[in-house]
Each structure stands twice: as C-alpha cells, then as structure tokens.
Amino acid sequence: MTTTPNTSASSSTDAVTPPAAAGRRPAPSCTLVIFGAGGDLTKRLLMPALYNLAVDGLLDAGMKIVGVNHGEMETAAWSKDLKQSLDQFAADKASTFHAGKLDDAAWNWIAQRLQYMAGEFESDDVFNTLKQQIDSAGGGNVIFYLAVSSRFFKPIVERLGKAGLLKEGDNVFRRVVIEKPFGTDLASARDLNAHILTYAQESQIYRIDHFLGKDTVQSILAVRFANALFEPIWRREYIDQVQITAAETIGVEARGQFYEQTGAFRDMLPNHLFQLLGMVAMEPPNSFDAESVRNKKADIFDAMKPLHPDDVVFGQYEKGPAGVGYREEQDVAPNSTTETYAAARVFIDNWRWAGVPFYLRTGKRLKLRRTEISVQLKAVPYRLFRDTPVDQLVPNVLTLRIDPAHGTSFDFNVKVPGPVMQLGAVQSSFDYSNFFAERANVGYETLLYDCMLGDETLFQRADSIETSWAVVEDVLHPKGGAVPVHGYAAGSEGPAESDAMLARDGHTWRPLV
Ligand code: BG6
C-alpha cells in the first residue's frame, strides 16, 4: 500500500491510496493537464472517471491534475465546483456513476491533487508557466488532455511543441489526448494530422472515440474471438446483413450551434459507427497489442467502398409525439437543412465480406435509445418445413447490445410443443448484470487508464481517421447536389426513405421496440 505525500492545504486523514483492483496494476505516476478544466466534458466524464479509477486504486500516489481554463479561479473553488457536479451525478439514481453515494476518501484523494491554472489557450504565457512548473518538479510524465473546442487543437499542440513540453526523455512520456471531432472532412483531418505531427510523434497522440471506452464495445472482440461458435460463420457465406444502430431519444439540447455545422452524419458515422463496424468486421489480430489490432481495423477502413450519395438517407425531426421539430430548437435556423438522422449502406470489398451489406443508422429524437449491432444470418433451405408458413421461420440474429442494455441476444427457431411440427421463434438473451457485478463506469476510465499505461489499442491512428473521412468524401461534398433531407416525426423510427433503402435489397430495419 502506498501513501500519498501531503500536498494540499485541505489535507485530510484520507490520503491513503486504495489497493489496485485485482489483476490490474496502478498507472505510472504522471501529471494530467486538462485544457478546458471548466467545461462539460471535464465535469461530466473526466473527473468522474478519475474518481472511479481512484476508487479502484489504479492511480499512482504521485499523480497531479492541473486544470487550465480561461478566467481566474482559486484551486479550492474549482475543486468545490467539481465536487458539486460529482455529488449531483451520484444523487441521480439513473446514473452509472456511483448512484446514491460518493466516497469522501476517494474524492479527497483526488482533491488533494488538483491545481487550477488560469490561461488563454492561444497565448504563450500558460505554456511557459506550465513548462517552468513541470521542469522545477523534475520533469516527468505528462498527459495533456484537450477537452476543448476543436478550433483549439492546432494552437494548443503547436504551443506545447514550441514550449518544449512534448519532448520525451528516457522513461519519460509526454502524450496528447484529442477529443472528437477530428476534422470535418478528409482535407481538414489531413491538415490537422499534419499540423499536430509537426510537433509530436504519432505515438504521442491519443485520438479518442469514446465509443471504444464502452465495455460492451470492447467485448465485441471477446465475443468474436473467445468463442469457437462464431468464427466459422462470421463471413459472407453465412451472414446475410449486419445492422448497426445508434438511436437516441434526446434532441440537440443546448448544442444547436455545434450541430448546425455538424449534422448527424459527420457527428456519428465516420467515427463511432465506423468504429463499431471495424470491430465487427476486422480479421483476427495476431495479438491484442495496439498495432496488431489497429492494423486489422485499418484494413477494414481501407476495404470499405467509398459511399455514394445514393447509399445514404438523411432525415430531420419534425414536430411529433416526442416534441418540437429540430427547426424550433435553440440556436437552430428556422429553415435549417441540417440532418438529425443518417443511414448508410456500406460494403466492405474484401474476401470475407464481399456482397454483405452493413446498414448503419443514427438519429436524434427517435422512438428509443438503443445502440446495438445485429448480425443476421442467411436463411436455411425451407424444404424441410414446407408445410410451415415460411414467415414463421425467423432468421438467426445475433444482437450485441451496447447501450442502454448491455448484453447479447440470439433469435432462433424451435418446435412449438404439441403433436404437430410447428415452428416458434424464440430469443435467448444474456445481460451483463446477470453475471457480473455492476461497476460504476462513465466510459472514460479505460481510456484514461490506457493512456497512462501507453496502450494505444483503443485510440484512433492518423491513417484510419483519414481513410474513414475518405470513404464518406462523396457524401460530404457531393458532385450532384446535396443529399436530400427527409422529415420524420420526433419520436418515430426515422424517415420512410430509410426503410425504402433497405427494401430495395429486400431487407427491413430491426424495429425499435
Ligand atoms: C457524441 C455525439 O460523440 O456521441 C453526440 O457528438 C451523441 O451527438 C453521443 O449524442 C452519443 O454517445 P453515447 O455514448 O451517449 O451513445
């Protein structure tokens, strides 16, 4: 057991670092510098995740957390503000964050390591101060977390580089974590990568796609590669289609300004949904080391056929059972043509997947919140069941449930008990909570912990980001005019045109029920 140095004026008796969770080693000592210390991401996700890591004893006693933001503020006030947010999340019974309780000892452990630093992201001062402070503490490992608007990515990395803050030494790492959106199309992503890589090595850059922080997403590889049942059928000979859904019930909330520029397609497709697709479609890697996994995923993005505008459907929610239309939302133009729904039909041009459609859809203000992947197998020959109505024969579907349910289900056919041969569709399902203790988890724990350990498996490499944008280039900059945006009622399952796209292939979306 390690004890922490008494670094804070608000010291308490609770400075003992808890023992690490079984089988896991604490991260190496480091300073985490968060740009955007006052922002939503810091309050809602980073601090709760750090708190959870502290509870699990996975942070080193020598850790420091420096929060940089515009505006003067005392560390004590920042700390109080963060604690208030954490208390609020804890009080929220539906929260995945320690619903109902907050452990004072764990919070004090974090609070003792906080330091607030006022500074403008585009002025040199704060970077010089940081350099002095880090050097006078003996240098050491530092993670710079860019929890800021994407327009600050370039200036911050540039200043970090110019101030000498990204220079690594023997056994000393300097890493930069960058949130999405990483560019808005191929040209901007290339430009951003080129700029960043002028000041840092690729191995120092940790590009986050928060979907990869979800246990249920990481489990896709476990389900595929740890079970002999799936691999033989995981190919075009047996799989008819794959559907990947990220349906949300929320609207744009207070993000109208951002969303007007972004839209559902850019916001979700070439990043989150492509990442899910990559996990489902990639070849088995030789090992779980970062490059093996990322190389196999990169192969999938390389093999994706560039999306044609005819292979996407855009929608925008209108007034409906779930509330007002998008155009009536705050900060949204009354004649906006921004899409709040996007569906795409994607093909992977390789040996395993040739001809298998991957249908992707996402949307705001849909009927249900549901993120899931459904792998539908081909039908059996009907001969044996010729006296049975064929529509009773359901296709086998393996569904990997990502959110809000966590688990898998499998649809298959059995004989209905009784004297005649009649088929009945059944579903066998598993929920993580039936087998494993629920863990408080906001989805950033693994990402932060991995970054401290230097494990890049779950982070996006420059080449894959660019290949993903390249796949959607013709949709973002169509030669024949913008992709039409169809209306759908708030609270519905999306625009009818999306159903029509699948109907052309003789397929239907899995209903959102
Ligand atoms: C974000 C998008 O990246 O992902 C949001 O910008 C979206 O618009 C969110 O709501 C969905 O993430 P999750 O984890 O809530 O499914």
Residue of higher predicted confidence among 314 and 419: 314
Q: Return d(Cα 417, Cα 465) in angstroms, integer.
A: 52
Q: Select from 91, 109, 160 the least CA-distant residue to 1.
A: 109
Q: What is the pLDDT of residue 28?
A: 96
Mutate to test the pocket of ligand 1, among 248, 250, 446 (most ligand atoms within 8 A of CB): 248
pLDDT, one tens digit per residue, over 26-50 is 899 999 999 999 999 999 999 999 9
The 10 Å CB-count burial string (b at 16+, else e) for 433-460 is eeeeeeebbbbbbbbbbbbbeebbbbbb
Q: Across residues 280-294, what is the average pLDDT? A: 96
Q: What is the pLDDT of residue 390?
A: 63
Write the DSSP symbol of residue 266: H
Helix 215-225 with 274-281: angle, nearest 10 deg: 20
Report whether residue 403 contacts ligand 1, using a CB cutoff of 6 Å: yes
Residue of higher predicted confidence among 29 and 10: 29
Report whether residue 150 contacts ligand 1, using a CB cutoff of 6 Å: no
Q: What is the pLDDT of residue 14?
A: 41
Mutate to test the pocket of ligand 1, among 96, 215, 259, 272 (most ligand atoms within 8 A of CB): 272
Question: Of residues 98, 272, 406, 486, which has the active-site annotation?
Answer: 272
Contact 175, 207 (CB under 8 A): no
State yes or no: pLDDT of 130 exceeds 80: yes
Q: Across residues 69-90, what is the average pLDDT? A: 94
Band of pLDDT at residue 312, cut at 50, 70 and 90: very high
Ligand 1 centroid distance, CA of 211 (Å): 8
The mean pLDDT value of the chain amounts to 92
Say how many C-beta atoms besides its own lie within 10 A of residue 41's C-beta.
Answer: 18
Which structure tokens are listed for 421? Answer: 């041969």
Q: Across residues 250-266, what is the average pLDDT? A: 95
State yes or no: pLDDT of 402 exceeds 90: yes
Contact 390, 356 (CB under 8 A): no
Residue of higher predicted confidence among 318 and 387: 318
Q: What is the pLDDT of residue 93?
A: 65
What end-to-end distance do the CA atoms of the chain give, in Å?
Answer: 49
Q: Return d(Cα 482, Cα 263) in angstroms, integer.
A: 13
Q: Return d(Cα 174, Cα 168) in angstroms, integer.
A: 6
Order across the sheet with 114-118: list the strands: 114-118, 64-69, 31-35, 142-146, 174-178, 205-207
Sign (positive or negative) of CA dihedral 488, 494, 497, 500? negative
Contact 489, 496 (CB under 8 A): no
Nearest ligand 1 atom, CA 271: 3
Say how many C-beta atoms besides its own lie within 10 A of residue 323's C-beta.
Answer: 14
Q: Select from 223, 257, 193 the least CA-distant residue to 464.
A: 193
Say how many C-beta atoms besides its own lie within 10 A of residue 479's C-beta.
Answer: 6
Report whether residue 248 contacts ligand 1, using a CB cutoff of 6 Å: yes
Order across the sheet with 358-363: list the strands: 423-431, 407-415, 397-403, 370-377, 239-247, 358-363, 341-346, 312-318, 485-489
Say how many C-beta atoms besides its own lie within 10 A of residue 24's C-beta.
Answer: 12
State yes or no: pLDDT of 484 exceeds 90: yes
Q: Across residues 125-137, what is the average pLDDT? A: 96
Supply φ then ψ for residue 424, to 5 degrees. -130, 140
Residue 272 among the catalytic residues: yes
Q: Which domains does the chain possess?
A: 2-208 (3.40.50.720), 214-436+460-503 (3.30.360.10)
pLDDT, one tens digit per residue, over 202-236 is 999 999 999 999 999 999 999 999 999 999 999 99
Report whether residue 249 contacts ligand 1, using a CB cutoff of 6 Å: no
Q: What is the pLDDT of residue 21?
A: 65
Q: Across residues 409-433, what is the average pLDDT? A: 91
Q: Return d(Cα 402, Cα 370) in angstroms, integer.
A: 8
State yes or no: pLDDT of 278 exceeds 70: yes
Report whether residue 96 contacts ligand 1, using a CB cutoff of 6 Å: no
Contact 180, 208 (CB under 8 A): yes
Which of 8-17, 63-72, 414-423, 471-480 has the lowest average pLDDT?
A: 8-17
With a pLDDT cut of 70, the percent of the chain lying above it is 93
Write the DSSP symbol of residue 245: E
State yes or no: pLDDT of 17 exceeds 80: no
- pTM, full prediction: 0.93
Which of 22-36, 62-76, 464-478, 483-497 has the lowest average pLDDT?
A: 22-36
Ligand 1 centroid distance, CA of 427 (Å): 29
Write the DSSP symbol of residue 169: B
